[in-house]
Amino acid sequence: MAILTLPTANGRLEDFSTSERPMPTPAAEPFCRSALAAVHVVVDPLADGDPWLDAVPDWDATIAYRRYIWGLGLGVAEAMDTAQRGMGLDWTGAQELIRRSIDAARDFPGAVLASGAGTDHLAPGPEVTVDDVIAAYEEQCEFVENAGGSIVLMASRALAKCARGPDDFARVYSHILSGVREPVIIHWLGEMFDPELAGYWGHDAYEAAMATCLDVISDNAGKVDGVKVSLLDKDKEIAMRRRLPDGVRMYTGDDFNFAELIAGDDEGYSDALLGIFDAIAPAASSALGALTRGESERFYEILEPTVALSRHIFQAPTRFYKTGVVFMAYLNGHQDHFTLIGGQQSARSLAHLAELFRLADKAGLLRDPDLAAARMKTVLALHGIEA
């Protein structure tokens, strides 16, 4: 048991003792759900450059973390928003990341990997046309496929800006889907994750946007493995899930309600492609193993405290959730420093990080409480608290 002094939301300090709860035991068997973790990039803290502008990954540590995720039975969703894609990691860096991850997956038996293809090398602007967006998507999809990877078709800021309505979205997606070699996962990323994606699918109203997305999927069902919905609204996800064509998966991206969405109901369930699985990977593996064995109560028992942790990490402004994900990796010894691309270790307050520590302890997700406490004390000392 480690004892340290943590700040509270009201600015006071109080003592806290770690519980040393055992970390959930990862499952050994294949899961009854498809489950991928969108994973972060480990930055090189010794690189010489402007940390707000230069994204210099530690490639060895970054790939080692992917092997760790595969070792827990989870798939990896690569070069997506958890990797700070378009939010510090540009297309050039993403290409190298995708190449290295595909190479690593070849050497890891059973590894599942899907990589993000979007248009982030095309800056939104008044001169950008729908044809420009199509060409940008084609370039990135071709890169992923030629490297031997499968595709997560990411949302496009450029398309959100230049589209004149739902017909432009349908045109772009239908064109790209007609040209891919294998079925893809379409990612509908909500504006809470990226404000520049407001009004996606040509509508501000969810029902109309969903209808456009469903029309695209239905018209191209043979080229769509599934759709990942990141709207943080379980009712919207369930409504769409019930209208998907047969054979098309719903991948939950709801980091607030993932447990009940994965468990499902009498009319279906969601598979998972989640950023929070980066931070709670052992619990996710253990819970999915329980669900596979038909132990639904155990599934919820494992995940219930992780939902509280996830809601804290993904609280508004949601786009800063990467700070909490990387902080978890730092606490658990997966990287030796608390540094993010773009200097985003500063995007959350000390009080936020302290509450994250408490919730991680409650969920049994501090694999070495003494190490985690020592690292928390280092962060506290940087903020003037000698705990």
Q: Domain coordinates of the chain in residue numbers? A: 3-382
User: From the centroid of its chain, how far is CA 163?
Assistant: 26
Q: Residue 74: its pLDDT value, please? A: 98
CA distance 153 to 164: 21
CA distance 66 to 276: 14
CB 121 within 8 A of CB 139: yes
Q: What class does CATH assign to 3-382? A: alpha beta
* Pick from 101, 65, 74, 97: nearest CA to 84: 97
* DSSP structural state of residue 34: -
Q: Residue 200: its pLDDT value, please? A: 98
Tokens read off for 91: 């297309």
CA distance 272 to 253: 7
What is residue 366's three-state secondary structure? coil
Q: Residue 387: its pLDDT value, please? A: 63
Name the CA radius of gyration of the chain, rounded.
20
Q: Residue 177: its pLDDT value, please? A: 98
**Residues forming beta bridges with residue 250, ordered by sequence position:** 227
User: What's the burial of 382, exposed, middle or buried (CB within 10 Å: 0-12/13-18/19+)?
Assistant: exposed
* Pick from 42, 33, 40: nearest CA to 74: 33
CA distance 171 to 173: 6
Reported as type and span, the H/E element at residue 274 is strand 271-274
* Pick from 159, 163, 119: nearest CA to 137: 119
Query: CB under 8 Å to 104, separation ≥6 — which residues?
Result: 63, 66, 67, 111
- Look at strands 75-78 and 113-117 and give their pairing: parallel
CB 361 within 8 A of CB 6: no
Tell me the mean pLDDT per 10 residues along the chain, length 387: 91 92 85 98 93 92 98 98 95 98 97 98 97 98 98 98 98 98 97 96 96 98 97 97 98 98 97 98 97 97 97 97 98 98 96 98 96 97 88
Q: Residue 184: its pLDDT value, please? A: 98
* Pick from 104, 36, 101: nearest CA to 74: 36
